[in-house]
Amino acid sequence: MTKEIIKGIYTPNVVPFHDDHRINEGELRRYVSWLIDKGVTGLYPNGSTGEFIRLSFEERLRVVEIIADETKGRVPILAGAAEPNIAMVLEACKRYADLGCRAVSVTGPYYFKVSQQSIEHYFRELAAKSPIDLVLYNIPQFSNEISLEVVKRLASDCPRIVGIKDSSRDMPRFMDTLNEVKPLRPDFSCLIGTEEILLPVLMMGADGGTIATSGVAPEAVMKLYNSFLKGDLAEAKRIQFKLLELIKTMFAAGNFPEGFREGVNLRGFNTGRGPQPMSPHEMEHFNAISTKLACLLTECGFQEAAKSCQAAKPDVAAMLARINKRVP
């Protein structure tokens, strides 16, 4: 039976931790159910926002196990399977297929630079052996780029490879993908991983995206997406611009994805701190950004953040000005 094209808004979830950095399963379950209740299309565990690279292989498997069990088929799961070697990718593929995931997302090989020939061979071998559909994950900031020519050949030759998620922040590259790959294979899903250009790429034919901001403000991101589907471009444009400052503020917190983690905390969760520690100077900056973020979320109508906003709002501008004058 032909499966539907992967489309819509998939949420790359943060992973809540206890103080000793063990996965906080109860809070992860509560957060996942909240996202589903808020209407996200699907979930995207083990992405960059989920800090997969800082987890062990067993922890990455456990994250998907928890989410699959909590989701119980209510929404599809696109699970990150960017492992360091092909045997581990295939093991993850098998485990995620058994858990009922819709597909897995796999980056190009990372750390070592390899040729485009090797990258194409790598994905062809995965496509031949994987028991679950594959989505290419192009993020050249952190892994080997998957060239457009390789994407075109893989899309044409490998039915098991069903789409691409592009987080390159390169809109011309994404436009070329839509223009050159979609005509070859209309059912090939093209997802954006850059929320700042979500509406522009939807207007040009993108199928959706994996949008980290949907983990903090799912109501706003889904309203943008649904407004686009209804043809209400004025409302979609209004929301896209409104989200820009929120996105920039979360990135400005430093040590990605701590700003997004803090956004989730301000929505009423306790995700703890991530595994990567911050310096005292970074923590001072982070606290100021957290207050600004709380106020932005309050302005967006998310009243869970109002108390944190009011607690330090008069001091936040001066605090940020003082910090920005200092040399890190």
Question: Which tens digits make up the pLDDT trace of 24-40?
Answer: 999 999 999 999 999 99
Say what the pLDDT of residue 76 is: 98
pLDDT at 281 over 80: yes
pLDDT, tens digit (0-9, with 9 covering 90-100), for 202-244? 999 999 999 999 999 999 999 999 999 999 999 999 999 999 9
Query: Span 315-326, mean pLDDT?
Result: 47
Say what the pLDDT of residue 153 is: 98
Say what the pLDDT of residue 313 is: 53
pLDDT higher at 226 or 317: 226
Res. 315 pLDDT band, cuts 50 70 90: low
pLDDT at 70 over 90: yes
| In the chain, % of residues over pLDDT 70 | 94
Domain coordinates in residue numbering, the chain: 8-232
Contact assessment for residue 104 and residue 135, using Cβ atoms and an 8 Å cutoff: yes
| Fold assignment, 8-232 | TIM Barrel (3.20.20)
pLDDT at 327 over 80: no
The dihedral sign for the CA sequence 95, 209, 136, 107: negative
Q: What angle do CA 257, 134, 158 make, to 5 degrees?
A: 145
pLDDT higher at 318 or 173: 173
pLDDT, tens digit (0-9, with 9 covering 90-100), for 83-117? 999 999 999 999 999 999 999 999 999 999 999 99
Give the range among 164-173, 252-261, 300-309 with minimum mean pLDDT. 300-309
The pTM of this model reads: 0.92
Say what the pLDDT of residue 319 is: 43
Average pLDDT, the chain: 92
What single DSSP character describes residue 254? S
The dihedral sign for the CA sequence 168, 173, 179, 180: negative
Rounded Cα–Cα distance for residues 242 and 298 (Å): 13
Rounded Cα–Cα distance for residues 13 and 27 (Å): 12
Contact assessment for residue 80 and residue 104, using Cβ atoms and an 8 Å cutoff: yes
Q: Phi/psi zone of residue 190: left (φ > 0), alpha (ψ -120 to 50 degrees), beta?
A: beta
Say what the pLDDT of residue 284 is: 87
pLDDT, tens digit (0-9, with 9 covering 90-100), for 179-192? 999 999 999 999 99
Tokens 């997969």 map to which residue? 52
Tokens matching residue 83? 């492992």
pLDDT at 318 over 70: no
Sheet holding 161-166, edge to edge: 42-43, 8-11, 208-210, 189-192, 161-166, 133-138, 103-107, 78-80
Q: What angle do CA 203, 300, 311 make, to 5 degrees?
A: 150
pLDDT higher at 274 or 315: 274
